[in-house]
Chains A and B, each alone.
Chain A
Amino acid sequence: SQQGEEDPQALSIQEGENATMNCSYKTSINNLQWYRQNSGRGLVHLILIRSNEREKHSGRLRVTLDTSKKSSSLLITASRAADTASYFCATDAPGTYKYIFGTGTRLKVLA
């Protein structure tokens, strides 16, 4: 079945730096979401971008969407140690109730 893919699989940065992670998907979508998962916990919704949007901001988060390339990026600016987590993109499958989750990017922010 379709799988989104995040890139890189793991990322380690210093506190205060920006973190960028990418997501690619395979079919047309209505929207794309980003979620965060702290170690051993459930996922928390961060931001949703619709297929007719190109960029969206929420606090220190910036998401872009390029439907022609079937890709999205999540930028976290001025990262903090508390941002250490795994980040997942999720795309809807039009005409179904399903979401397709990627395999995630593990972000480590060093204090």
Chain B
Amino acid sequence: DVKVTQSSRYLVKRTGEKVFLECVQDMDHENMFWYRQDPGLGLRLIYFSYDVKMKEKGDIPEGYSVSREKKERFSLILESASTNQTSMYLCASRQGVWDEKLFFGSGTQLSVL
């Protein structure tokens, strides 16, 4: 089975800090996604990467950036964390555009104080 690993389950940061959320998948998937999940709002797409060094903005990219230097790793960066970025962050991957099934990591609950 595909394994998608997010580096931290819980993270507490201060306002203004630069925050890195790491995601690694072990099945040579081409596409990777970062979502945030907030109560009542469901999952919202932050960024998508369809290949190494390739990225596309999702619905809510403001305040975030991403990095994909290697195929297995997709990092989400909060340049200057703010309290409204307190949320559950979910990483997902899929084999490619021809395979619709998403595999999710366990999530990172980020609190920005």
| Residue positions of A touching B, CB distance < 8 A | 1, 3-4, 30-31, 33, 35, 40-45, 48, 88, 90, 92, 97-99, 101-104
Chain A positions within 8 Å of B59 at CB level: 1, 98
Q: In this complex, what residue of A is CB-closest to B91?
A: A42
Q: Do residues B42 and A97 form an inter-chain contact, with CB atoms below 8 A?
A: no
Question: What are 16 residue pairs bridging A and B, where the CB atoms are less than 8 Å apart in the complex?
Answer: A1-B59, A31-B100, A40-B107, A41-B107, A43-B102, A43-B104, A45-B102, A48-B101, A88-B43, A90-B102, A92-B100, A98-B45, A98-B48, A99-B45, A101-B42, A102-B42
Known: A42-B90, A45-B101. A103 touches B48 (CB 8 A): no
CA distance A4 to B48 in the complex (A): 20
CA distance A102 to B44 in the complex (A): 10
How many pairs, one residue from A and one from B, have CB atoms within 8 Å of each other in the complex? Answer: 56
Please tell me if B56 contacts chain A, counting CB pairs below 8 Å.
yes
Partner of A103, one of B42, B97, B103: B42
Binding site for A on B (CB under 8 A): 4, 31, 35, 40-43, 45, 48, 50, 56, 58-59, 88, 90, 92, 97, 100-107, 109
The 6 closest A-B pairs by CB, nearest first: A42-B104, A101-B43, A103-B42, A43-B104, A101-B42, A42-B106
Q: What separation, in Å, do the CA atoms of A84 and B45 have in the docked complex?
A: 26
Cα-based distance from A30 to B98 in the complex (angstroms): 12
Docked pose: A31 CA to B94 CA in angstroms: 15
User: Nearest CB to that of A32 among chain B residues?
Assistant: B100
- Report yes or no: A42 in contact with B4, Cβ–Cβ below 8 A: yes
A37 to chain B, nearest CB (A): 8
Once the chains are docked, how many angstroms separate the CA of A109 from the CA of B103?
A: 25
Q: A45-B101, A48-B100, A103-B40 are in contact. Are A40 and B45 (CB under 8 A)?
A: no
Q: Which residues of A contact B103 (CB under 8 A)?
A: 45
Q: What residues of chain B lie closer than 8 Å to A42, measured between beta carbons? A: 4, 90, 92, 104-107
> Closest CB of chain B to A71's CB: distance in Å?
17
Cα distance A97–B56 in the bound complex, in angstroms:
10
